[in-house]
């Protein structure tokens, strides 16, 4: 113990070695400050471990490194900066996780080489003239800047005016908008008076990426298998920019997609200035039990997000109508998924397929489309075929293209301008938390398959989906093939082969 105290005293007494200790100890603290607004859960224990580990690195570095560039206080900041550069390359080229893990040794070598070159540069130009904390701040700041940099650059990039001919098309998507809350929006009532509406259409997944990929491709989520869509980059602009773009847009031949992030977490439009975002962090991770009053506060915060989105969407809708675009083009309004508030024990989205997450509002305003509630179960999978049909594009797949959803009967997206068949099978697939789960809907019957077991709900008699019903293997096989099957009569399960059901995992 005495030897450790002597070592610590010697290291701290030396001004140069003290700079190294400050630099290594400051790095995780600066990271914490810069990323404090991130919705990911911050573990105090994790930060404590990182601080102690980096302080230990500083002690070893200060004790062993000579008083030259090898003992530079710029090392922590330059290593973090090099990591930021690697992340920037990853963002710009939309590299998948597997593409990076396959070359980890080369990535590590590149980070080390880049840090070495930066340290030598600082050693020649600025070394010993800048405080250690300032040097340490550089790396995490670069990493934070890289995280937001591409979005900031895309925000200011000019959007070229389209030159093609055809109907003007506008798609508005509101993230995390529940179908029942959409019914309370003034903008939804505006859409009901002008176009066909499906208050309980079906999303393609329980979270954003698979749902939006299906929306724009028309391919079922289990077919494209996307959890993240490389290269899908929407223009990140505010509403004033969108309205200004409409002023300069041609009368035809463009597709405008506006995606509003509210009412997604973190619910920043609450009236309570003391709103605790940690409440949502912990509720989202499942680490904090919320009482009735706290849950009510979360729901109210979400409703305020919806109200904010309602005002902005209505403003955009009115601007679109004022410019005469609805008379010759088409407007589609929808959401990627909903949000659950403990109706079935969970919070947020991405891990369940009940109606509060899978059901979304959908509206189509276009010439020849009668206003009012439309029949049938619409799906996000129908949006791409509808847009292509309105634009007059050939919907046949290109030669050599991968098989799409319409490669198998019953799995194709439909044109929403035409009546939807009563036996239509809408489908959703996937979760954000790696739990095998998918669902189907035919009319008022929803079937959810989770962990190999299937249950059904009668949405007419049980809209809250609280009373699960049995599903026969024959019905499940028909749904998987895109065909509706007769629902089992009461007591029908007793007449089935229990060994067959047991082998399929439906009984134990």
Note the pLDDT of residue 317. 94
DSSP strand pairing (330-334 vs 169-174): parallel
Residue 420 lies in a domain: no
Residue 251 lies in a domain: yes
The answer to whether 326 touches 364, Cβ cutoff 8 Å, is no
Residue 271 has pLDDT above 70, yes or no: no
Residues 150 and 186 in one domain: no
Calculate Rg over the CA atoms of the chain: 28
Please name the residues in contact with 121: beta carbons below 8 A apart, sequence gap of 6 or more: none
User: Pick the residue with more confidence: 67 or 179?
Assistant: 179
Residues 175 and 136 in one domain: no
Read out DSSP for 450-503?
A: ETTEEEEEETTT-TT--S-B---HHHHHHHHTT---PPPPTTGGGGS-HHHHHH
Q: Containing H/E element for 197?
A: strand 196-202
Residue 68 lies in a domain: yes
Rounded Cα distance, 355 and 181, in Å? 12
Share of the chain above pLDDT 70, in %: 67
The answer to whether 456 touches 444, Cβ cutoff 8 Å, is no
Query: Domain span at residue 30?
Result: 2-156
Note the pLDDT of residue 160. 59
Of the residues 156, 188, 205, the one at which a domain ends: 156
Residue 429 lies in a domain: no
Closest by CA to 202, choosing from 376, 46, 341, is 376
Residues 128 and 198 in one domain: no
Rounded Cα distance, 427 and 179, in Å? 17
CA distances from 439 to 148, 202, 427, 454, 455 (A): 35, 10, 6, 9, 10
Read out DSSP for 83-138?
A: HHHHHHHHHHTT--HHHHHTTHHHHHHHHHHHHHHHHHHHHHHTTTTS-HHHHHHH
Residue 431 lies in a domain: no
Rounded Cα distance, 60 and 39, in Å? 34
Residues 24 and 151 in one domain: yes
Of the residues 129, 156, 183, the one at which a domain ends: 156
Residue 410 lies in a domain: no
Q: How many residues does the chain have?
A: 508
* Across 288-298, average pLDDT: 77
Rounded Cα distance, 340 and 136, in Å? 42
DSSP class of 432? T
Rounded Cα distance, 411 and 404, in Å? 9
The answer to whether 233 touches 155, Cβ cutoff 8 Å, is no
Average pLDDT, the chain: 77
Q: Which of 88-97, 246-255, 263-272, 380-389 has the lowest mean pLDDT?
A: 88-97
Rounded Cα distance, 177 and 191, in Å? 15
Note the pLDDT of residue 496. 46
User: Pick the residue with more confidence: 87 or 444?
Assistant: 444
Of the residues 128, 156, 184, the one at which a domain ends: 156
Residue 40 lies in a domain: yes
Residue 192 has pLDDT above 80, yes or no: yes
Sign of CA pseudo-dihedral 157, 163, 166, 167: positive
- Residue 454 CA neighbour count, 13 Å, CB half: 21
Does 263 sit behind a cis peptide bond, omega within 30 degrees of 0 on the bond before it? yes
Burial of residue 315 (number of CB atoms within 10 Å: 0-12, 13-18, 19+): middle
Q: For the chain, what is the domain count?
A: 3
Digit-coded pLDDT (tens) for 351-369: 889 999 999 999 999 999 9
Residues 122 and 31 in one domain: yes
CATH number at residue 341: 3.40.720.10
Digit-coded pLDDT (tens) for 4-35: 677 677 777 777 788 788 888 877 777 776 66
* Across 414-426, average pLDDT: 93
Note the pLDDT of residue 293. 81
Residue 95 has pLDDT above 90, yes or no: no
Residues 231 and 361 in one domain: yes
For residue 497, how many other CB atoms are within 10 A of its CB? Answer: 9
Residues 272 and 352 in one domain: yes
* Across 250-261, average pLDDT: 83
3-state secondary structure of 138: helix
Residues 216 and 352 in one domain: yes
Closest by CA to 341, choosing from 352, 333, 326, 330, is 352
């Amino acid at each position: 113990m005495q030897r450790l105290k002597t070592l610590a005293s010697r290291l701290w007494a030396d001004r140069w070695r003290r700079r190294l200790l400050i630099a290594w100890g400051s790095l995780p603290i600066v990271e914490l400050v810069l990323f404090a607004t991130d919705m990911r859960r911050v573990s105090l224990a994790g930060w404590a471990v990182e601080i102690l580990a980096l302080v230990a690195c500083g002690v070893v570095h200060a004790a062993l490194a000579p008083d030259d560039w090898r003992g530079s206080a710029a090392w922590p900041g330059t290593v973090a900066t090099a990591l930021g550069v690697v992340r920037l390359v990853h963002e710009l080229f939309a590299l998948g996780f597997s593409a990076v893990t396959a070359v980890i040794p080369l990535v590590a070598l590149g980070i080390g080489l880049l840090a070495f070159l930066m340290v030598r540069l600082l050693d020649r130009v600025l070394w010993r003239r800048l405080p250690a904390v300032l040097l340490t701040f550089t790396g995490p700041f670069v990493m934070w800047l890289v995280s937001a940099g591409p979005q900031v650059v895309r925000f200011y990039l000019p959007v070229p005016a389209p030159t093609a001919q055809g109907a003007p098309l506008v798609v508005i998507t509101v993230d995390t908008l529940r179908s029942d809350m959409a019914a309370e929006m003034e903008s939804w009532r505006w859409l009901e008076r002008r176009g066909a509406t499906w208050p309980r259409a079906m999303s393609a997944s329980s979270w954003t990426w698979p749902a939006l990929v299906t929306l724009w491709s028309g391919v079922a989520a289990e077919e494209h298998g996307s959890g993240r869509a490389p290269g899908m980059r929407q223009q990140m602009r505010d509403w004033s920019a969108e309205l200004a773009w409409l002023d300069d847009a041609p009368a035809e031949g463009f597709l405008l997609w506006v995606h509003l992030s509210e009412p997604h977490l973190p619910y920043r439009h609450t009236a309570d200035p003391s709103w605790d975002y940690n409440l949502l962090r912990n509720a989202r991770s499942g680490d904090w039990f919320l009482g009735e009053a706290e849950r009510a506060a979360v729901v109210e915060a979400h409703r305020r997000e919806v109200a904010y989105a309602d005002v902005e969407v209505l403003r955009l809708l009115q601007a679109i109508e004022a410019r005469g675009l609805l008379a010759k083009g088409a407007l589609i309004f929808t959401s990627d998924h909903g949000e659950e508030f403990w109706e079935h024990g969970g919070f947020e989205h991405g891990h369940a397929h009940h109606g509060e997450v899978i059901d979304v509002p959908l509206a189509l305003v276009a010439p020849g489309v009668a206003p009012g509630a439309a029949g049938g179960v619409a799906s996000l999978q129908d949006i791409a075929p509808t847009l292509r049909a309105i634009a007059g594009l050939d919907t046949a797949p290109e030669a050599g293209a991968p098989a799409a959803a319409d490669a198998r009967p019953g799995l194709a997206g439909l044109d929403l301008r035409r009546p939807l068949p009563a036996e239509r099978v809408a489908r959703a697939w996937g979760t954000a938390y790696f739990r095998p789960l998918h669902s189907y809907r035919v009319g008022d019957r929803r079937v959810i398959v989770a962990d190999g077991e299937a249950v059904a709900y009668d949405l007419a008699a049980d809209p809250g989906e609280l009373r699960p019903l049995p599903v026969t293997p024959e019905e499940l096989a028909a749904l998987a093939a895109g065909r509706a099957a007769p629902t089992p009569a009461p007591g029908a399960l007793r007449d089935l082969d229990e060994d067959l059901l047991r082998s399929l995992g439906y009984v134990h």
